[in-house]
């Protein structure tokens, strides 16, 4: 997939890096910083890298703001690239626990990676705020364990698909489904197919493609011939379905993964072609607070700033973690877990509520917090009801 380069890597693969420490540098009385591990996909498939770098950008800005607002507890980020590989993800998490002595962890992109290392953190008693992984049952697998150390601040696949399908069956007569043959693509296809069946709708066409393909002309011809006016798009090469359409005299509407809100996708596909494309969202860029955040991120990261909603959720995950650290005031994973669960008063940029979590709910977003966004001009806005 060639739609997005990763730019400069945030770290060299395999190396941990302390990005920000708030502790004074001199004096015997300086408080040791509380270390927070961050695991993200910062190399590997371009879509993974864009998710990972965008979420990390938000976390880093949240730490800057924590410092600027006078946070009393020094915090240090220890960042690792999991290379979109579950074995490496487990390895770096073990290193964070055993060597780096982190009090908590944030990450990662791949749901499979999270499910590989979440049990390690649960057994060790170290809290995790997962993100931007979206698989539906990440926190549900642990919520009945007392206490559960697994939280999440991200899109949730089921909620995203439900929002898309409710809108789709209301507005379109013939719906097609395009998905990749990856674990994610197959999972999303199963969720979408089951959801449409429950709504009494049969797909007009279903097409799959491997993640490495670079031409979806055959699939788009079949969609056109089936008369699909809406295509549910769950292939990680976000731009590929758009490319053959001018040659085929075919212009369906696409709806799918929240990655379709990427500014990079818009730049490659073109503003005109992407108009009307819909996706799950948790950031309303028509809101002044979100606009202010978007402006700050654009000024800070320039062309390397690509996914507002992903960066916003990273920012809010960071806010939650750092506020909890400040409340505890020391490197104590068990107390940090309790503080994360009890945290209140978060002024989120995304749809995350002021009190994100509770004893039976470790998701920062509820079903009502996720809405359908649609490209209108240069911006993703809430879709008309």
> Is residue 189 a contact partner of residue 208, using CB atoms and an 8 Å limit?
yes
Residue 350 scores a pLDDT above 90: yes
Among 221, 184, 190, smallest CA distance to 203 is for: 190
Say how many C-beta atoms besides its own lie within 10 A of residue 72's C-beta.
9
Spatial distance between the Cα atoms of 141 and 26, rounded to a whole number of angstroms: 45
**Joined tokens for residue 337:** 């877990």
- Which of 7-11, 202-206, 331-335, 377-381 is predicted with the least confidence, judged by mean pLDDT? 7-11
Spatial distance between the Cα atoms of 324 and 33, rounded to a whole number of angstroms: 14
Spatial distance between the Cα atoms of 266 and 255, rounded to a whole number of angstroms: 14
Residue 26 scores a pLDDT above 70: no
Share above pLDDT 70 across residues of the chain, in percent, rounded to a whole number: 92
- Residues 158-199: tens digit of each pLDDT: 999 999 999 999 999 999 999 999 888 998 999 999 999 999
CA geometry: angle at 137 spanning 94 and 233, to 5°?
Answer: 110
User: For position 1, what pLDDT does the model report?
Assistant: 40
What integer is the mean pLDDT of 214-223?
Answer: 97
Residue 2 scores a pLDDT above 90: no
User: For position 11, what pLDDT does the model report?
Assistant: 41
User: For position 20, what pLDDT does the model report?
Assistant: 40
CA 6 to chain centre: 16
User: For position 18, what pLDDT does the model report?
Assistant: 40
User: For position 45, what pLDDT does the model report?
Assistant: 82
Going by the DSSP 8-state scheme, the letter that residue 100 receives in this structure is I
Q: Is 384 exposed, middle or buried (0-12, 13-18, 19+ CB in 10 A)?
A: exposed
**Joined tokens for residue 229:** 């006016």
Residue 364 scores a pLDDT above 60: yes
Band (pLDDT 50/70/90 cuts) for residue 212 is confident
- Residues 224-262: tens digit of each pLDDT: 999 999 999 999 889 999 999 999 999 999 999 999 999
What integer is the mean pLDDT of 138-165?
Answer: 96
Among 58, 59, 66, 81, smallest CA distance to 8 is for: 81
> Is residue 127 a contact partner of residue 336, using CB atoms and an 8 Å limit?
yes
Rounded to 5 degrees, φ, ψ at 74 are -65, 135
- Residues 270-306: tens digit of each pLDDT: 999 999 999 999 999 889 999 999 999 999 999 999 9
Task: Write down the residue that tokens 């992109």 correspond to.
Answer: 109
Residue 267 scores a pLDDT above 70: yes
CA 107 to chain centre: 9
Q: What is the three-class DSSP state of 342?
A: helix
Mean pLDDT over the full length of the chain = 91
- Residues 307-327: tens digit of each pLDDT: 999 999 999 999 999 999 999
User: For position 29, what pLDDT does the model report?
Assistant: 58
Q: Computed from CA positions of residues 128, 133, 138, 139, in that sequence, does the dihedral angle turn out positive or negative?
A: positive
Band (pLDDT 50/70/90 cuts) for residue 25 is very low
């Amino acid at each position: 997939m060639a739609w997005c380069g990763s730019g400069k890597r945030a770290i060299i693969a395999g190396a941990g890096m302390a990005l920000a420490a708030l502790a004074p540098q001199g004096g015997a009385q300086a408080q040791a910083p509380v270390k927070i591990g961050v695991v993200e996909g910062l190399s590997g498939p371009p879509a993974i890298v864009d998710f990972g770098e965008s979420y990390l950008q938000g976390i880093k800005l949240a730490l800057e703001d924590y410092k600027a607002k006078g946070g009393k507890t020094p915090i240090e980020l220890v960042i690792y690239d999991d290379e979109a590989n579950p074995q490496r993800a487990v390895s770096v998490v073990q290193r964070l626990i055993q060597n780096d002595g982190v009090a908590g962890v944030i990450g990662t992109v791949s749901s499979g990676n999270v499910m590989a290392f979440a049990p390690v953190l649960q057994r060790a008693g170290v809290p995790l705020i997962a993100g931007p992984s979206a698989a539906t049952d990440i926190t549900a697998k642990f919520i009945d364990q007392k206490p559960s150390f697994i939280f999440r601040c991200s899109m949730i696949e089921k909620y995203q698909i439900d929002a898309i399908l409710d809108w789709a069956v209301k507005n379109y007569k013939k719906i097609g489904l395009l998905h990749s043959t990856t674990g994610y693509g197959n999972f999303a296809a199963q969720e979408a197919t089951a959801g449409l069946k429950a709504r009494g709708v049969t797909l007009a066409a279903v097409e799959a493609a491997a993640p490495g393909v670079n031409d979806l002309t055959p699939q788009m011809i079949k969609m056109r011939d089936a008369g699909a006016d809406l295509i549910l798009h769950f292939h990680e090469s976000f731009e590929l379905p758009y490319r053959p359409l001018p040659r085929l005299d075919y212009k369906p509407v696409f709806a799918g993964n929240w990655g379709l809100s990427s500014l990079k996708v818009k730049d490659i596909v073109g503003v005109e072609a992407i108009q009307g494309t819909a996706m799950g969202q948790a950031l309303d860029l028509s809101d002044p607070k979100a606009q202010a955040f978007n402006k700050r991120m654009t000024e800070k990261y320039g062309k390397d700033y690509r996914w507002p909603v992903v960066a916003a959720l990273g920012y809010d995950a960071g806010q939650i973690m750092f506020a909890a650290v400040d409340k505890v005031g020391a490197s104590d994973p068990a107390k940090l877990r309790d503080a994360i669960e009890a945290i209140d008063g978060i002024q989120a940029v995304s749809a995350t509520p002021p009190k994100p979590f509770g004893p039976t709910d470790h998701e920062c977003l509820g079903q009502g917090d996720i809405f359908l966004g649609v490209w209108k001009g240069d911006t993703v806005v809430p879709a008309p009801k």
